[in-house]
Amino acid sequence: MDRIRLVGGNALNGEIPISGAKNAALPLMIASLLSDEPLVLVNVPRLADVKQLERILENHGVDIAVHGRRRGDADMGGQRITFTASDIVDTTAPYELVSTMRASFWVIGPLLAREGHAKVSLPGGCAIGTRPVDFYLEGLRELGAEIEIDNGYVVARAPGGRLRGANVRFPKVSVGATHVVMMAATLAQGTTVIENAAREPEVGDLAECLVAMGARITGIGTERLVIEGVEKLGGAVHEVLPDRIETGTYAMAAAMTGGDVLLRNARPGLLQAALDVIGHAGIAVEPEAGGIRIRRGEGPIRPVDVETEPFPGFPTDLQAQFMALMTRSDGVSVIKETIFENRFMHVAELARFGANIHVDGQLARVTGVPELRGAQVMATDLRASVSLVIAGLAARGETIVNRIYHLDRGFERLEDKLSRCGAVIERIAG
């Protein structure tokens, strides 16, 4: 199994291109199931999760064509991929495919909407909490679906072969449930209103793509989405938005090492709450025409208290990275995790660097230390794994990060991007 080796102590200086957002690319790929015409996605990141979802979509009969680079494309630009679901050959998503990635469960919405039936294994993914699919299923039931659980599979049917528009209100904001119900509603008969919808930029990106395919959606970017069902969706060309989590991650890496980095193609509006927090920590955050510049001078990192929230609040997917940054702050910070109940698994690994962190339920109290020391550490989930890289970049001596397949799921060419800015980092084949 591959590992990453780092030698800390170098400031990051230079430019890091921000890839297309994984959390946007996956639902966009799944949306290809809604139409028999080609959906062309531009700026798709090269990630393990993308490859896995390609296998799942091919199992349903989607033809996938990955296009080569074009003249003028950036050195680390994303992929251009065409997805054509001209004929759905199988409406079952088996356990061996779905169990490795939670987002793959979302195929249930398009399959049910287009074919009138679907059988999808209950999902897998990072072990960061129970994250039940109750909201997804209740939303589909509101659209008229008949649903039962059979031997670990969700079996869903639309009586008469078509879903019906309805009023759906989620008791709690859920990105996944919003994706699933919105996609299903595009082909439902009548009008669907989704209340308490997730407002994350990735939800808006999917909605904009669906509109380009012929869907009728209003309220994009708000907590109330109105979807007027249509008989059929067509093809479209859509560019995946830049990854706000990757943006925040590299911003914290630059802040941690005392560097000066331009995050090329980054959009401030996608993660303003996180940028505000980084600014409060004493880091210069400067939007530029080409992206966002992150600079830290000679001053200390200031402690900042943070509470994770749905968008537009501070994202849970940046909580581990921010905790790594706060281990070097000049004081005490308190981090409250409100989204997932089991997302402090990285604390024990950060402690191996010499970090001083005390956890009490959903609160983590981080007391900054003068120095981190390199260590052998183990990645526990996608976002926690990159927090260990951030700590290793600033730690004295050598760090080995084990079980890095989590990193490959969500960060494109991480070693290349960091090494170009002066980091001593390499992948060791295992």
Beta carbons of 57 and 33 less than 8 angstroms apart: yes
Q: Look up 126 and say whether it is catalytic.
A: yes
Type of residue found at 166 = A
Give the Cα separation of 301 and 280 in Å (integer): 9
Task: Confirm or deny that 69 is annotated as ligand binding.
Answer: no
Paired with 154 in beta bridges are 120, 149
- CA angle 153–405–254, rounded 5-degree value: 125
Task: Confirm or deny that 51 is annotated as ligand binding.
Answer: no
Task: Confirm or deny that 172 is annotated as ligand binding.
Answer: yes
Task: Confirm or deny that 22 is annotated as ligand binding.
Answer: yes
Task: Confirm or deny that 261 is annotated as ligand binding.
Answer: no
Pick the catalytic residue: 126, 183, 391, 395? 126
Q: How many CA atoms lie within 13 A of 363 on its CB side?
A: 6
Task: Confirm or deny that 141 is annotated as ligand binding.
Answer: no
Task: Confirm or deny that 232 is annotated as ligand binding.
Answer: no
What number of other Cβ atoms are within 10 A of residue 133's Cβ?
Answer: 22
Give the Cα separation of 234 and 226 in Å (integer): 20
Phi-psi region of 359 (alpha: psi -120 to 50; beta: other; left: phi over 0): beta
Task: Confirm or deny that 44 is annotated as ligand binding.
Answer: no
Give the Cα separation of 235 and 238 in Å (integer): 10
- Residue 286 contacts by C-beta under 8 Å, 6 or more apart in sequence? 292, 293, 294, 295
Tokens found for residue 210: 């669906």
Which helix (H) or strand (E) is 251 found in, with range? helix 244-257
Distance of alpha carbon 382 from the chain centroid: 9
Q: Are strands 39-44 and 236-239 parallel, antiparallel or unpaired?
A: parallel
Backbone angles phi, psi at 260, to 5 degrees: -140, 105
Task: Confirm or deny that 119 is annotated as ligand binding.
Answer: no
- Which residues does the annotation place in the binding site for UDP-N-acetyl-alpha-D-glucosamine? 102, 172-175, 317, 339
- Residue set of the binding site: 22-23, 102, 172-175, 317, 339
Active site residues: 126
Instruction: Detail the residues annotated as belonging to a binding site for phosphoenolpyruvate.
Output: 22-23
